[in-house]
Structure 1
Amino acid sequence: MLSDSNIYDIIIVGGGHAGSEAACASSKMGSKTLLITTNFHTIGQLSCNPALGGIAKGQIIREIDALGGFSAIITDYSTIQFRMLNKSKGPAMWSPRAQCDRKLYSNFWRFFLDKRKKLDLYQDTVTSLIIKNYKVHGVITTLGVKIKAHSVILTNGTFLNGKIHIGRKKFDGGRIAEKKVKGITEQLVNIFGLKFGRMKTGTSPRVDGRSLDYHKMKPQEGDIDPKKFSFFYKTKKLKKQIKCYIAYTNHVVHDLIRNNIMYSPIFSNSIKGSSPRYCPSIEEKIYRFSDKKEHPIFLEPEGWNTNEVYVNGFSTSFPERIQYHTLKNVDGFKNVKILKPGYAIEYDYFPPNQLQPTLESKFIENLFFAGQINGTTGYEEAAAQGLIAGINAHMKINNKSSLILKRNQAYIGVLIDDLITKGTTEPYRMFTSRAEYRMLLRQDNADERLTHIGYSIGLISKKNMKLVDKKICLIDKCLSFFKKENIDPKIINPILYKKSSPVIFNKKKIETILSRSDIELKDIITIPFIMKKIKNNRFTQEILEQVSIRIKYKGYIDREEKNAKKLLKLENIVLPHNFDYKNMESLSLEAREKLNYHRPFTLAQASRISGVTPSDLTILLIHIGHG
């Protein structure tokens, strides 16, 4: 496998979520791929909390599935509890989330990787890259093995010069009990001039569930009718689910943390890396939100056959004894037994504004970056980047058009555009608020938005493409029925009266009635002639819900589609890469500096750079002949 004559198309460094998705994508598309990881037993590991999805993150997992990735499928196979979050809000905010069996999740990743015929696995650590004339040609491992490749994808996670902190204890590592990786940062920075930074993330203690008193906590049940993440793979219905629980901190816990704050490496300045703003440690929560009397703690079981419980919301780098005493004072934790202490970890990352929209380096050809190495946090963000990097690495070496998702096409498009345009100085996390077209980018329509793209590049089968085409056809047919069919006042008025909705005196279209905010889908579909039509045409609940969303939120959807078309015009105006911004005196000084630094690829991307004004955009249009 490792002979000099054997050159891989693509080598992927790191077997986490980004690396696993990249490996599956590139090998499935036909590239001879090698995935190198330090430990086969930690492939696809849920290093932090044992859950996938959540606000905006659930949308990303469904988008990965629609494009032909595997995170959704593997989540479905390992789910122990499923919840659709934000159901009380509009459909743009609905976000699926699944608690997973940690071991099953990792095992299934290994299973799917082993099934890829064009994918080889190799256990070793990459310490440097083979780069000639600013073009990557392979990697060198700790054992001194040189492996050649046409392209390399770095998905090192938290392992580049990783340093773990537990109180005043510091030791090297990419994860607890796993070695750091040294050499790659030094080579890319000192020899090739790339910029790098340090970031910090953390994890919570794991405790023995048998030592907790759940009667003093609030149970958190799964959905009565649990859904799935994957649009295509039909796993068995989740008949049994494991409960999660919610506990709360109190003034005693807060006082203990305040009195011992000097023992936290975050507050003693032992940690220099930037912390995640939206997932702070318990120390940072108490310090930053001093007015809060309590903070929720989520007890998340780690699997079907283990007593291990993850204490989500209690990320900490305190010494073990302080972790124990603070937890002990939470209601229900009096007899707590800690199985693994929480810890903080610092690691190297490379600011992502050094990347092209394909996630290829601007400075080293055929070298791609994906995951936490780009400054993101979260399994979902990493997996999405890995998928796109794997696709584009294959496209690049085969001289095919790259896949660049737009902001109105996918949360993945928003994620990558934010990273390469704005960069990040703190761990980036996706939220629905980051997407200006979130009504278009719902979790329920990811297949309609993206499956044709996955099919066109060879990641989606013809069978699955037909399923999506059939779904779209049925939605159109059902929508047409609701728009054209009249409903008699005698039939609908009793329902309207019961719902305290104004009655009608003339026949109205079903669409008109359903568009009312106080009328629900179930109020309409129970009417006999409508029920008959639904049954005859085999309109499933999924189809009916899609139609209901389109009718009820038509105004919002139309407005976002109109705005997206305006944006598309700017996206199609390409800016020359060698544009001389410095000498364009008609531009503001700030705009010249920012444009010269970021080197935007399109006028739309330029418009999203802080400091570039509308008048600057007009000047650019004139200079490139569009004014």
Structure 2
Amino acid sequence: MTRFTHPHATPTSDGQLDLDVLVVGGGHAGIEAALAGARLGARVGLLTLDLERVGEMSCNPAIGGLGKGQIVREIDALGGAMGKVADATGIQFRILNTGKGAAVQAPRCQSDRHRYRQEVTAVVRAQPGLELIAGGAQSLLLSRAADGRERVVGVRTEAGQELRAGATILTTGTFMGAVMHTGEQTEAGGRVGERSVEGLTQSLTSLGLTLGRLKTGTPPRLDGTTLNPERMEEQLGDAVPQPFSFSAPEGAFPPLPQVPCHITYTTDATHQIIADNIHRAPMYAGRIKGVGPRYCPSVEDKIMRFPDRDRHQIFVEPEGLDTDVAYINGVSTSLPAEVQEAFVRTIPGLEEARFERFGYAVEYDFIQPSQLSHTLAVREVSGLFLAGQVNGTSGYEEAAGQGLLAGTNAALWLQGREPFVLGRHEAYLGVMVDDLILTNPSEPYRMFSSRAEYRLLLRSDNADRRLTLRAAQVGLVTGERGLGVEAKAERVHQTLALLGSQRQGGQTLAEILRRPEVTLDSLASAHPALADLEPDLARTVEVEVKYAGYIQRQEDNVRRAARQENLALPDDLDYSLLSGLGGEAREKLSRIRPATLGAAGRIEGVRPPDVALLGVHVERHRRMKSAGVS
């Protein structure tokens, strides 16, 4: 596939630097960025507004989900912390979509919000080479790079301190230029109890970067002791919970007691109260200009966009073992407090609810991600990397994955090493980065399995076999862990060979296993060699056999795509001179400048005829070059 390079030359050593890598923001992206950089031997500083809120779960107390659970497994396969912390602090584990195919099944856990923050902070503090620094970034520090362009060399804090670093990674989440909305009330801040970051927007725009405005929201939190579970459906976790981490310790899992969630629904009365007060919602009143997440709409959006629906599902989720607070998933809202009280109390089980915190919306600045390279470095400004919601994504998992990649590439860039870039056929992380850069989303980007065209190859069960060896080669995980994955892969291979060679009743065991009603466990009773296979390997083997034809087809598609993907577009190609190219395609190709024909074809607004025209031009260019014609 495509060979990527860093967009800027490695800077010469500067003895005046305080750090190799400075990460700005202590959320999920910042944590993984800082940890990855430190694992690669960089001196890393993590600058955060509040040392007590590192790794805060600002919205729902959960990790994983459709598309997201696969990302968590990939983060773990690459040596990241999120999966291990989720395992240590989860209070309900479920595999979603078990009634569907293996490609779209995904792990999810309900987390203890307080314990998650404590656990991940302990991981950060224990990482050698990583320093936590309290404070906010006021502006970027600049110098001139060797090519004459401006280069970022750290930040100036709000206290006036200069923190100088070889590479700076912004992971500011929803805090940059942030404003919180509840009804007619507004307040500067990216999260309740925390102020916004004001100076960085000006620094970024002064560098010529294009910013936009997005919006997110959160639901009210209720006192769980005032809710009536008898009026709701109980939702239990899996009888045999499965961990996120491939290196989960053997023994009793999960380590914490498990608790149920509950399901309830909005009613006609709920909808009527919201409709009667929709003019007081900041988005509908025109006070919010940012675009909200399409796939996580506010309850007022649900009511107005889907008037034919007589009810909407709500999940009542506990926030932890030592608190009575309940998170009301599905009721994100920024309506006034008194309206929230009125409509929430029309929902079965919530009639006597006492509010711990009202819902609110947050509007914030983000960088249009088409300005990044696949390393998550800003293409036009040396020394600056971006990760997380500042790139226009939503969700802890998407942020953490970007953070890991940005931290890795920042360290590799400073060390003069090749970048670490994952392809769409290799990881959901590769799909996400490619989507962000080439489609430049105009609304908060959320990962779904449907975004991955090779999703049967990118299952959560095989993330370690896909990625851990590459991580070991780079230095993100130990060589010992890499050898362990090699041994696991060999065990899977040997079991598949056994199933393909041993016969029973005139058929191979693999042919028998392909029957829908047959499982590996049922075969193991008659074939002892299959009986001692670990449960996670048994699941992998079963999927590899039952979906063998589909897997082979996707692998063939990857090879075909590679031929187009690898067709390099000339660096000096002037798209304005190509007749027949669509106007939108010409503008976006000139601005984004994709490296290959495959990348060009994934840019929004570039049509198949445009790709065909480019292919003809590249082939003509290749022939002329071979013939010595300039």
CA RMSD for the aligned pairs?
1.5
**Counterpart for residue 89 of structure 2:** 78
Which amino acid is the alignment partner of residue 523 of structure 2? Answer: I
Q: Distance in 2 between matches of 1:254 and 1:592?
A: 46
- The DSSP-based 3-state class of the residue aligned with 1:59 is helix
Which of 186, 198, 222 is residue 237 of structure 2 equivalent to? 222
Q: Distance in 2 between matches of 1:96 and 1:581?
A: 44
* Paired residues of 1:188 and 1:194 also in contact (CA < 8 A): yes
Contact 2:600 2:606 in 1 (8 A): no
> TM-score, normalised to structure 1's length?
0.94
Structure 2 counterpart of 1:98 = 109
Query: What CA distance in whole angstroms lies between the structure 2 residues aligned with 1:258 and 1:57?
Result: 33
* Runs of 5+ unmatched residues, structure 2: 1-13, 144-148, 625-630
- Report if aligned partners of 1:587, 1:619 keep a CA contact under 8 Å in 2: no
Q: What's 2:4 paired with? A: none
Instruction: Map 1:417-436; keep pairs closer than 5 Å.
Output: 417-436=434-453
Shift of 1:552: 0.7
Contact 1:366 1:396 in 2 (8 A): no
Q: Which stretch shifts more, 367-376 or 602-611? A: 602-611
Counterpart AA for 2:481: N
Matched, 1:563 2:563: no
Say whether residues 1:32 and 2:43 are aligned partners.
yes
Distance between the aligned counterparts of 1:6 and 1:365, measured in 2?
16
CA contact (8 A) 1:4 1:148 kept: no
TM-score with structure 2 setting the length: 0.93
Q: Is the 8 A contact 1:591 1:616 kept in 2?
A: no
Structure 2 residue 533 is the aligned partner of structure 1 residue 516: no
Mapped partners of 1:243, 1:383: distance in 2: 27
Q: Distance in 2 between matches of 1:285 and 1:557?
A: 38
1:166 and 2:161 correspond: no
- Aligned partners of 2:623, 2:124: CA distance in 1, in Å? 48
Structure 2 partner of 1:231:
246
Q: Distance in 2 between matches of 1:334 and 1:283?
A: 19
Q: CA deviation at 1:192?
A: 1.5
d(CA) in 1 for partners of 2:434, 2:574: 23
Q: 1:620 to 1:18 in 2, by over 3 A?
A: farther
Which has the larger displacement, 197-206 or 602-611?
A: 602-611
C-alpha displacement at 1:155, in angstroms? 0.3
Q: Which moves more between the two structures, 250-259 or 598-607?
A: 598-607
TM superposition shift of 1:624 = 4.1
- AA at the equivalent of 1:475: V
Q: Report the number of matched residues.
A: 601
Amino-acid identity (%): 40
| The one of 603, 606, 612 aligned to 1:611 | 606
Which stretch of the first structure deviates more once superposed, 224-233 or 587-596?
587-596
Structure 1 match to 2:547: 553
Q: Secondary structure at the match of 2:142?
A: strand
Tell me if the contact between 1:607 and 1:617 (Cα under 8 Å) persists in the aligned partners. no
Q: Is 1:539 aligned with 2:533?
A: yes
Q: Could you tell me how far 1:617 is from its partner in structure 2? A: 3.1
In the alignment, what sits opposite 2:287?
270
Query: What amino acid is the match of 1:206?
Result: R
- Measure how far apart 1:481 and its partner are: 0.9
Give the one of 565, 579, 585 matched to 1:591: 585
Shift in Å, 1:398: 1.0
Please point out which of 322, 325, 336 is paired with 1:308: 325
Output one character per residue of 1:163-199: Cα deviation in whole Å (capped at 9) or x when no partner.
000000011001112111111111211x221100000
Paired residue type of 1:217? M
1:92-171 superposed matches below 5 A: 92-132=103-143, 133-171=149-187
**Structure 1 residue identity aligned to 2:300:** E
Following the alignment from structure 2 to structure 1, what is the Cα–Cα distance between the partners of residues 580 and 351? Answer: 68
Q: CA deviation at 1:580?
A: 1.6
CA pair 404-620 structure 1, distance change in 2 beyond 3 A: farther
Give the superposition deviation at 1:626: 6.6
Q: Which runs of 5+ in 1 are unaligned?
A: 489-506
1:405 deviation in Å?
Answer: 0.4
Equivalent position SS for 2:576? coil
Q: Which residue of the other structure, out of 483, 492, 516, is the alignment partner of 2:500?
A: 483
Aligned pairs for 1:367-382 within 5 A: 367-382=384-399
Structure 1 residue 522: Cα displacement: 3.4
User: 2:623, 2:498 → 1: CA distance?
Assistant: 45
Q: Which residue matches 2:63? A: 52
Amino acid at match of 1:440: L
Q: After TM superposition, list the pairs within 5 Å mapping 1:103-502 onto structure 2.
A: 103-132=114-143, 133-189=149-205, 191-234=206-249, 236-238=252-254, 240-488=257-505
Q: Which moved more, 1:583-592 or 1:35-44?
A: 583-592
CA distance in 1, matches of 2:134, 2:564: 46
- For 2:547, give the aligned amino acid: Y
Tell me the CA shift for residue 602 of structure 1.
Answer: 1.8
- Offset at residue 534 of structure 1 (A): 2.2
Aligned partner letter, 1:272: K
